[in-house]
Every structure is written in structure tokens, then in C-alpha cells.
Chains A and B, each alone.
Chain A
Amino acid sequence: MEPKTDWEPRVVGFLCKWCSYAGADLAGTSRKKYPANIRIIRVPCSGRVDPLFILRALRLGFDGVLVSGCHPGDCHYQTGNYRARRRFAITRKILEGMGVEPQRVQASWVSASEGGKFVEVVTGMIDEIKKLGPNELFTDGRKNRKTEK
């Protein structure tokens, strides 16, 4: 693991196509600055975010996962974000219960007009993760149980 000073967090963001992705776009076209630590994956709806996406991202070594979609009541598909909320709440809570820092797994409602809010959310999240340090949850592979002894 490289020394902490050189380390820059990598965060994956699952953004809903209708609101949050457009919100991120707006932040860009408005020339607002936000940390380049986030890698954005566009999803058709926050309801598309399977808990496995989040878990897999953490397993691959991403330092944080952001899920973002339309505000309640604004879902393009009526109820996708409500379902996303239940699933996300459960996923985050169970990860917290296992000992994962909850700041690594965040969610936010960002509408297409909220470029400013998107910047705030990302900046805030990256700050928090910088304080936490790199995701070392899954490091230390168990190569061979016998020789490890």
C-alpha cells in the first residue's frame, strides 16, 4: 500500500440518468469544480442499483460508493427511487453491522437542476473518505491456510 500522503481516494458513483447524471452534467457545464476522485457510472434509475454493485465496488478496492437518484416523488419510473431507498438502507446498515465505515457507502437525492448540490455531495464525501483513509477491508488475501500459520 502506498503511503497515505500520495493516496487519492477512488469513489464510484452510480447516478440516475434522469436526475443526478444530468445534475453532474450541469455542474460541469456551469464550470463548477468538484474532486476528480469520483468515477461516474450512469444507471437508468437509482432503482437499478443492485446491492451487489456496491459490494463488488468495495471488493474491487474502491474507497467509497455513491448512489444518487431523483428526489422522492420525481422518479421517471414513478417508484424506482423508493425501492432503491429500501434496498440501500438495508445494505448500508448491514455493512455497518459487519464493521464497514458507513461513510464509505453514501446516497443522495440530486435533481437535474442541482449542479451545486452534486458538487457539495461529492466534495463532502471525498473529504470524509480522505479522513478515513484507503479501503483496506479486503486486503490481506488468504493464500494458503496452512502456510499462513
Chain B
Amino acid sequence: MTVKKIAKKELARLLDEWSRQFSVLVPSVETGVAQMTGWQGEDTSFVDWYRNTILPPKDAILPVMEEMFSFSKNEDGYRLEMSPPDSGRQLIFGIRPCDARALAMLDVVFKQDYEDTYYMRRRLNTVLVGIGCTNPYDSCFCTSLSSGPSDTAGLDLMLTDIGDEFVIEAVTEAGRELLDKSQGMRPATADDEARARESRDIANQRVTQNVDVKKMPDRLLAAFDNEEYWRKIAAKCISCGICTLLCPTCYCFDINDEVSDNRGARYRSLDSCAFCIYTKMPVENPREEKWQRVRNRVCHKYEFYPRLFDTIACTGCGRCIRLCPVNWDITRTLNSIPGQ
């Protein structure tokens, strides 16, 4: 596929150019938390500080909250109005390989059996332009999950930092088209490509956390009924929703109506299996206790999902470790499953 390069100082111009076709999202802390927000046309300083966002980029496709439809009642009867998501095309610039891979995992869920309009409409209109990591966090463990800081899976274009320039590589056909049409690109030389390779190798070595995922579904299945183990592992968890709500591969949602007087709207918002009420039913709650919920989260990612879709539903982005208020570390759990 095509390989080109662009100078970092040309980046603002490139993003401006893309803004004419797409609504371009870039990493920013403008809202007070690192997340993908609309390109404002100036500030490309994120190339220097950005390691990864706190809110995962899935937010641009499966938002924390969205209106599904609104309804009202008057003398003539009831009226329903769909609130379809923006059908405009969007481009996420700077998404990390782990988060791009994660979207592929969400796709499977939102396409299977029933195609989710809200998700799919945004997803099909989204172009993913990734930047390979040069400085992974100490909590990253992507390399253990047959991926890495320069993995191109799920991306349309991949950028690799080679100092003052980015080497841009088209991954998909859509990416190639975009690259061919973009102005100001120069062909990458063999030397550039060598530097890109070097940069990737260095980044790969920087990922130091390790998880043993060999025979993973079976090992977890064997430990599933080991209540004592799960109780011990779960003891310090406080059952908040950080690890799940900020996980790029978590997709559970809740649906609620907001009604006032004669009108209202139905909202979908992210839900978390860490909450006790997640499984609360009139008579009983199958996951009343904390250890059952912790087990569910680990097993969903490393046992149930892989059994259904042949891939582990975790990309090793490390958000759940970094952001956990009590430093509950999934890698420690996975590496200490009894009977290894």
C-alpha cells in the first residue's frame, strides 16, 4: 500500500483540508479531560503531550449518552420523532492502535443479529487515522494481546512519528483514497521507512506489562467456580464504573425515558456491570455480590467474548489500571488465576 510522509508543521493545514470533508476530531483537554473533540483549526500541540485520551474515542461512535427519539402528546394524539445520529462523515485523528482495535470488537456486537442504527450510522461514516505510540504508559499491555503500539488493525491510515515528520501508511482502500487526494504529501523514502521501523521497534520494547493469555478461555472457565479466589481478588474493588465506562471495548448500555408534562425523550447511556443494580431484577440479583461482578468483568473480556467471537475483548490500553481509584490491576488477576 501507499506510503507517504508529511512534516509535523504541515499537520494543521492537513487537518484543515480534511475538515472540509469530515468533522475532524483530535485529542484535546479543552473540556477539562483528555478526549477527542472537534478540530478548532490551530492547536496541534497534542502531538507533543498526547499519549492517550481518558475518555476512549468510542465516545464518538457510542457516546456516553444519546437521545434515541423524542415523543409528545397533544389533542391529535401521540407523535414520535426519531433522533438519528449525525449522518455527516467524521475523521478521528490520532486514535491509538488499541482503541482502533477495540472498535472492531464493538462492531461485531452492534452488527450481530440486529444492526444498531445509531452505532452503525456513525461507525460507517467514520475514518480512523491512527498515530502509533512512541511513549506507551507503564500500564499498557497491548503486546500481550497479539497487538502492539504500531498495530494497524482497524485503522484506515497509520502515522508513525519519525521526529519532525510522520510517515503515513494507507491501511484500507478508503485510507488510500484519502491519502491520494490529500495535498502536501511527499513520498516516503526507503530511509524514512527504515526510521519508521526503528521507531516502531523502540515503542514495542517500551511496553513492559505482560499478561499470559495462553489457553485463556479454558483457564478462566476452570477457575470460574473458585469462589474463594474471586472473593480475594475482588476484596479491594469499590464497584465504581471507571474501568467499564472508560473501557474502549465495553458496550453495555441502559435505556431511560425522560418525561415531563406531555413530552419526553428516550435516552441511551452507558451502563456498567460493576454496579449492583446492573443485574437487579424484581425477585433476585444474580450478581448481588462484588466478587461476582468482578468475575463477570474479567470473564466477559477473557472468556465469554472469546468463546463467541474468537478474540479477547481487551486491547491492553491500560485505562482500567491507570484510572482505578484503588489500583485494581487486571493483569495481576490474569497472571494469578489458580491452576496455571
- Residues of A at the B interface (CB closer than 8 Å) are 60-61, 143-147, 149
Contacts and interface: CB of A to CB of B under 8 A. Distances in A.
B199 to A, nearest CB: 32
B36 to A, nearest CB: 9
Given A60-B260, A144-B67, A145-B64, 5 more contacts: A61-B260, A143-B67, A143-B83, A146-B86, A149-B38
A94 to B, nearest CB: 22
B67 A146 contact: no
B37 A149 contact: yes
B86 A147 contact: yes
Minimum-distance CB pairs A-B, first 6: A149-B38, A143-B67, A147-B86, A144-B66, A144-B67, A146-B63
Interface string B10-40: 0000000000000000000000000001100
Contacts of A147: 86
Contacts of B64: 145
Interface of B: 37-38, 60, 63-67, 83, 85-86, 260
Main SS class of interface, A:
loop
Contacts of A146: 38, 60, 63, 86
Contact of B63 (A60, A61, A144, A149): A144
Contacts of B83: 143
A149 B60 CA distance: 12
19 contacts: A60-B260, A61-B260, A143-B67, A143-B83, A144-B63, A144-B65, A144-B66, A144-B67, A144-B85, A145-B63, A145-B64, A145-B65, A146-B38, A146-B60, A146-B63, A146-B86, A147-B86, A149-B37, A149-B38
Contacts of B260: 60-61
A60 B259 CA distance: 10
Contacts of B37: 149
Contacts of B66: 144
A146 B64 CA distance: 11
A62 to B, nearest CB: 12
Contacts of B60: 146
Nearest to A143: B67
A134 B66 CA distance: 28
B44 to A, nearest CB: 18
Nearest to B37: A149
Contacts of B85: 144
A60 B64 CA distance: 23
A147 B83 CA distance: 12
Contacts of A61: 260
B85 to A, nearest CB: 8
Contacts of A144: 63, 65-67, 85
A144 B38 CA distance: 14
A143 B60 CA distance: 14
A61 B260 CA distance: 10
A4 B39 CA distance: 39
A95 B65 CA distance: 26
Nearest to A60: B260
A71 B312 CA distance: 66
A18 to B, nearest CB: 33
A20 B340 CA distance: 71
